[in-house]
Amino acid sequence: MRFAFLLLMVVPAAFGHTGEAVHSRFSVKENADVDTLLRVSSELSNDCGKWCLLMANRRAHGKDPRKFTLSIDNGRRAGFCKLCGLMHLEVNGYLSRDLQLNRNCVREYADGERKGVEFSLNFDGVVMRTRFWMRPGSPRLWAEVCRSGKSLEPVADVKVGLTALPSFLEVMNGKSRFDGYRRSVRTASRCVKPCKRASVPIRTDDHYFIFQDEDYDGSAIDKGVGPVAVFLEADCKGCVRLNDGWLTDLCLTPNPKKPLRFSLLEYPEERVSNDEFERRVRREELNRE
């Protein structure tokens, strides 16, 4: 009887932990296809959501040189998606897209209940490590960018660009429409309104950034899929870049001597209106890691 009682106490706890755990699937393919020299896929999931990160060394084609790309493939054509790269780095004037990812410099990452992926790129002697992970109980994808101890050169300047396609890419007569949108960005204290072209500086009270569309607000089946968000874990200089085009950018210029940590949020398996998404973001903001 005593054994049965202990078993009843242990088993539900074990089952609960398993249900909340982060699951990771990691794969690397060299010479994956005619366009790709190296392709790395990291799929992370828990009970709250799923993220699939794709890293690739693209082959040169004609006048286009080979390049490195990092994107999210959560199964849709909006938000953080394959149609646009997720993150671009510039370190001491060198661009991540001009580099190549070494097979030995990408691996799975685990720290306690966290699971994810990490990789390093060499910017002419400055090695920058980027790490992505999920943790139990949250739909968010966390990230950290920092200088690696393997660097041979000092880092003087770091720029991090994050890009998303808010809500919808309209197709007219078989062709994608790339301008004429009313994209906006909402933060904790303000809304950066749609405009032709603008580079709006970040304020210290801008802890998160909701990339949304004023027309395709996710409220109905013909209104797109809804917004996405970026959370900053600490104050950071930078700007929001808006235009009437299809993409929205957050450009960050962190202190090069400190890690930059942020997280991403989207709901790829459901349509979420602008208002509902903001309510969820405000709840998430209370759960800083």
Structure tokens at 138: 């949250």
Q: Which residue has the higher pLDDT, 87 or 75?
A: 87
C-alpha–C-alpha distance, residues 74 and 203, integer Å: 30
Identify the pLDDT of residue 12: 37
In tens, the pLDDT along 254-270 reads 999 999 999 999 999 99
Q: Average pLDDT in the 104-127 region?
A: 96
Choice among 50-54, 57-61, 285-289 with the minimum mean pLDDT = 285-289
- The answer to whether residues 142 and 136 touch, using CB atoms and an 8 Å cutoff, is no
The model carries a pTM of: 0.90
- The pLDDT confidence band at residue 11, using thresholds 50, 70 and 90, is very low
In tens, the pLDDT along 122-131 reads 999 999 999 9
Task: Report the chain's mean pLDDT, rounded to a whole number.
Answer: 90
User: Coil, strand or helix: which one is 280?
Assistant: helix
Identify the pLDDT of residue 288: 65
Please spell the DSSP secondary structure of the chain, one letter per residue: -HHHHHHHHHHHHHHHHHHH--EEEEEEEES-SSSEEEEEEEEEEETTEEEEEEEEEEPPBTTBPPEEEEEE-SSSSSBS-TTS-SEEEEETTEEGGGS---GGGEEEEEETTEEEEEEEEEETTEEEEEEEEE-TT---EEEEEEE-TT-SS----EEEEEEEB-S---EETTEE--S---EEEE-SS-EE---SEEEEEP-TT--EEEEEESSS-SSSTTS-S--EEEEESS--EEEEEEESSS-EEEEEE--TTS-EEEEEE--TTS---HHHHHHHHHHHHTT--
pLDDT at position 27 over 70: yes
